[in-house]
Structure 1
Amino acid sequence: MASITLKNIVKKYDDGYPAVNDVSIEIEDGEFVILVGPSGCGKSTLLRMIVGLEDITEGELLIDGERVNEQAPRERNLAMVFQNYALYPHLTVYENIAFPMRLAKGKFSQQQVDEKVRRAAAMLELEEHLERKPGNLSGGQRQRVAMGRAIVRDANAFLFDEPLSNLDAKLRGQMRAEISQLQTKLGTTSVYVTHDQTEAMTLGDRVAVLKKGELQQIASPRELYEQPVNLFVAGFIGSPSMNFLPGTVEGRTLRTPLGDIELSEDTARAGQGRDIVLAGIRPEFFEDAATLAEPQLSKGSVISAELSHTEWLGNEQYAYVSYENDPRVAEALQNLAEEMDADELRTQLVVTLDATSRVRGGEVADLWIDTRRIHLFDPATGENLTRDAEAGAELTQRAREERKQDQERASRS
């Protein structure tokens, strides 16, 4: 195992465009870090620089404190798991897993090879498939073979390049759980690239959000969700995405196209004196006011809105509310949509309601908003005006402590 340190890493191609621009990340020994962002944000390029498949234009890459910029990939002792598995179709599962040890001629005896292959196969539930060829395996089984090959190398770190993108949704969920449990058990430093934020949020100890080659924020999934640093992180993390409602703060009142919302004192203070702000309200910050008792109603604000339509999902339902956008924020929202690989950010609220709510499309409903959790953003700079950096850091520190406890439990079992 090893720590990985990226110091002001830059990657420029022949045309001078920085695919990765001044990225600095400290990855602890045994930590699982996710690189996430839309297509073209530089996440795969960054991973390829760590493993040595791309040259570093500027900056330093350290593995366990040693500079490795000029080292060849094989000298870095990093195991890569690719999107397409990179298995040898003519070799059995056994020989595919054993391949890295066969390459190190004379380093491993046949007994050592056999022990390591069978231990990895048992870990990955591949014992019954060792004599089969990759072409006769399912996608999930092939992915496990690729992981087995990484395990037997005793590598300093595992690097995953969108390993689950070829699998169907159900199998992706299963493999996510397997990768997470395996990483906790092995305690091996891991860097994982994905464009799927569900993978990022469920797998990572910390998640690094990239946009156009620049690091926006690196933190625990919970800190990213609850204390995003800017509009891009707030909009990219979470499904359905955070709603951005234009408004003006007057006293403790946020005046919006959907009516007035009473803010907490601290939130209102952050928006004072600004011509316009964007209120970030996640879908689950809403409830059907008709389903709530008075004690909870008093802890938020209620607006009346006409629902365009609803979607019932069994355990919950989504309601949609259209509104007239403010032209002063139209450009900022369009730019945000392009940065997130979306065609546009529609001028509608997405509201998550309890499945028992009886509201329907075409009706006017009273919607309760948990105003304690609203964020205000500057549409010009994207800055989160209400971010509590101290509370966010505490969330990430707690996640770090929980990871260490999980690894200790796994090592004892």
Structure 2
Amino acid sequence: MSRIELKNIVKKYGDGFPAVNDVSLDIADGEFVILVGPSGCGKSTLLRMVVGLEDITSGDLLIDGKRVNDLAPRDRHLAMVFQNYALYPHLTVFENIAFPLRLQKGKHSEEEIRRMVHQASGMLELDEHLDRKPSNLSGGQRQRVAMGRAIVREADAFLFDEPLSNLDAKLRGQMRTEIARMQRRLGITTIYVTHDQVEAMTLGDRVAVLKKGILQQVASPRELYEQPVNLFVAGFIGSPPMNFLPARVSGSTLHLPHAEVTITGDLVEKVKGKDVVIVGLRPEHIKDATVETTPEHAVHFTAVVDQTEWLGNEQYAYIPFDADRAVRDKLDELDRELDGEGMHPQLIVNLDARSRVIEGDEADLAFDPALMHVFDPESGDNLTRDDEKAAQIAKDSEAQRRMALERAKKREAAKGGAA
């Protein structure tokens, strides 16, 4: 296990454009950190610089306090799992897993190699496939072989580059669980790259959100969801995504497309002098007031539903609105940054499964204004972020991470004693 520190890391190519721009990140021993962002944000480039497959233009990369910028990949003691698995088609599963051990000529006896391979294959439920070739395996099995090869190296850290992107949705869910379980069991420092924010939210102890090579926020999944620092992070994290609504400012009142909200305290001062702000509302924070209990201070409004989707345990309602011209360009820019399709803006509401709202209905909806976010349309900053709450979430998340690692160690120790 090891601690990995990135200090002001920059990567520039021949044209001088910074693919990664001044990224600093401190990854604790045994921590599972996700690098996430839309296509072209620099996340894979950053990972390749850590493992040594890309040169670092400037900045320092430290592993356990030692600067490794100029070390070859083989000397960094890191194990990488690639998107395309990188298996040898002519070798059996056993030999694919054993390959990094055989490269260390003379270091391991045949008996040791067999023991280490069987230990990894047992952990990944590959024992019955050890004599098969990769071409006879499913995508999920191939991914587990690639993970087994990383495990036997006994590396100081695991690096994953979009390892599940070639799998179908059901298998991705299963493999997410397996990777999370394996990481806890081994307690090994892990950096994982994905463009899928669901993977990021379910796997990581902390998530680093990148945009155009610049680190936007690094925090626990819960902090990113509840206390995003800006418009981009708020829009990227969450499925369905956060609703962004233009709001005209009139003293202590925000005029949204379908409702008016009275604001108080510091927020009144923060929006003073602005004509328009952007209000963010999560779909699940908007309720069907006819079937769900709403707080006393809830904001009620009615709106005609354009489309609904029923999923059994929940349903979604879609309500189009006209974006204020003053913020339309900003919302369009955000949509492009989030790899959107530039669709007509619409309010997404996550309704209780008991709701009977259908297309064409005028729905009676409500939301708690304490749960809404308000963003500066020019800077994108979250004007309602609560730094104290964010700090408490970070503290709680770190305590939970340490507790989970301790539990995993005790379970492994108990298994070893039983054996």
- Report the equivalent of 1:328: 326
The alignment status of 1:387 with 2:351, answered yes or no, reads no
Report if the CA contact (8 A) 1:91-1:133 is conserved. yes
Q: What is the deviation of 1:139?
A: 0.7
Shift of 1:404: 1.1
What is the distance in 2 between the residues matched to 1:363 and 1:236?
30
> What is the one-letter code of the residue matched to 1:116?
M
Question: Which residue is 2:184 aligned to?
Answer: 184
Structure 2 matches for 1:25-36, cutoff 5 A? Answer: 25-36=25-36
User: Mean Cα displacement is larger for which, 250-259 or 43-52?
Assistant: 250-259
| Counterpart contact for 1:270–1:376, Cα < 8 Å | no
> 2:154 is matched by which residue type in structure 1?
D
1:45 aligns with 2:32: no
In the TM superposition, 1:7-156 aligns within 5 A as 7-156=7-156
Q: Quote the Cα distance in structure 1 between the aligned partners of 2:103 and 2:88.
A: 14
2:290 counterpart SS class: helix
Q: Distance in 2 between matches of 1:116 and 1:11?
A: 37
* Alignment-derived partner of residue 417 in structure 2: none
Distance 1:93 1:393 in 2: 46
Is the contact made by 1:261 and 1:303 (CA closer than 8 Å) also made in structure 2?
A: no
- Gaps in structure 2 of 5+ consecutive residues: 412-419
Question: Secondary structure at the residue paired with 2:191?
Answer: strand
Give a deviation string over 1:130-178, Cα, whole Å, max 9, x none: 1111111111111001000000001010000000000000000000000
SS in structure 1 of the partner of residue 159 of structure 2: strand
Q: CA deviation at 1:251?
A: 4.5
Look up the match of 1:349: 347
One-letter amino acid matched to 1:385:
L
Using the TM superposition, give the Cα deviation of residue 278 of structure 1 relative to its aligned residue in structure 2, in angstroms. Answer: 0.3
- Structure 1 residue runs of 5 or longer lacking an equivalent are none
Q: Percent of pairs identical after alignment?
A: 63
Task: Give the secondary-structure state (helix, strand or coil) at the position aligned to 2:248.
Answer: strand
Deviation at 1:270, TM superposition (A): 3.7
Query: 1:234: which partner in 2?
Result: 234
Shift of 1:392: 1.1
Secondary structure, aligned partner of 1:304: strand
CA distance in structure 2 between the partners assigned to 1:229 and 1:133 by the alignment: 48
Q: Which residue of 1 aligns with 2:409?
A: 411
Residue 3 (str. 1) matches residue 24 (str. 2)? no
CA distance in 1, matches of 2:267, 2:405: 38
Q: Please name the residue that 2:200 is paired with.
A: 200
The letter for the 1-side match of 2:7 is K
Quote the Cα distance in structure 1 between the aligned partners of 2:148 and 2:3: 22
- Native 8 Å contact 1:277 1:378 kept in 2: yes
Give how far 1:268 is off. 4.5
Shift of 1:332: 0.6
Aligned residues of 2:259 and 2:299 also touching (Cα < 8 A): no
How far residue 350 of structure 1 moved from its aligned partner, in angstroms, is 0.5
2:298 alignment partner AA: G
Equivalent position SS for 2:224: helix
2:359 to 348, 358, 361: 361
CA distance, structure 2, for counterparts of residue 174 and residue 268 of structure 1 = 47
Q: What amino acid sits opposite 2:373 in the alignment?
A: H
Task: Answer yes or no: is 1:314 the counterpart of 2:324.
Answer: no
- In the TM superposition, residue 27 of structure 1 has moved relative to its aligned partner by 0.3
How far off its partner does 1:250 sit?
Answer: 3.3
Q: Deviations over 1:256-304 (max 9, x none)?
A: 22131244545445434321100000101100111134xx341311011
Kindly provide the amino acid, as one letter, of the partner of residue 31 in structure 1: E
- Write out per-residue CA displacement over residues 1-34 of structure 1, whole angstroms, 9 at most, x where no aligned residue: 1000000000000010100000000000000000
- Distance in structure 1 (CA, Å) of the matches to 2:409 and 2:126: 22
Which deviations, in whole Å up to 9, do the C-alpha atoms of 1:86-115 show, x marking residues without a partner?
111111111111100100001111111111
Counterpart for residue 217 of structure 2:
217
Runs of 4+ in 1 over 6 A off after TM superposition: none
Deviation string 1:183-233 (CA, Å, 9 cap, x unpaired) is 001000000000000000000000000000000000000000000000000
SS in 2 for 1:217: strand
TM-superposed CA distance for 1:324, in Å, is: 1.7
Single out whichever of 305-314 and 158-167 deviates more from structure 2.
Answer: 305-314
Counterpart secondary structure, 1:291? coil
Please give the alpha-carbon distance, in whole angstroms, between the structure 2 residues aligned to 1:155 and 1:127: 22
Question: Could you say which residue in structure 2 is the equivalent of 1:158?
Answer: 158
Q: 2:335 aligns with which of 331, 334, 337?
A: 337
Q: TM-score, structure 1 length as denominator?
A: 0.97
AA at the equivalent of 1:360? I
- In the other structure, the counterpart of 2:276 is 276
The answer to whether the 8 A contact 1:291-1:357 is kept is yes
- State the distance in 1 between where 2:269 and 2:320 align: 28
Q: Is the 8 A contact 1:161 1:193 kept in 2?
A: yes
Shift of 1:240: 0.8
Quickly say closer, same or farther: Cα 1:29–1:345, change in 2 above 3 A.
Answer: farther
Q: Is the 8 A contact 1:297 1:368 kept in 2?
A: no
SS at match of 2:360: coil
CA distance in 2, matches of 1:264, 1:319: 30
Q: How many angstroms apart in 2 are the aligned matches of 1:204 and 1:386?
A: 25
For the 8 Å contact 1:252–1:265, the answer to whether it is kept is no
Indicate the SS of the match to 1:290: coil
Give the superposition deviation at 1:362: 0.9
Number of aligned residue pairs: give it.
411
Aligned partners of 1:252 and 1:149: how far apart in 2? 60
Retained in 1: the 8 A contact 2:79–2:157? yes
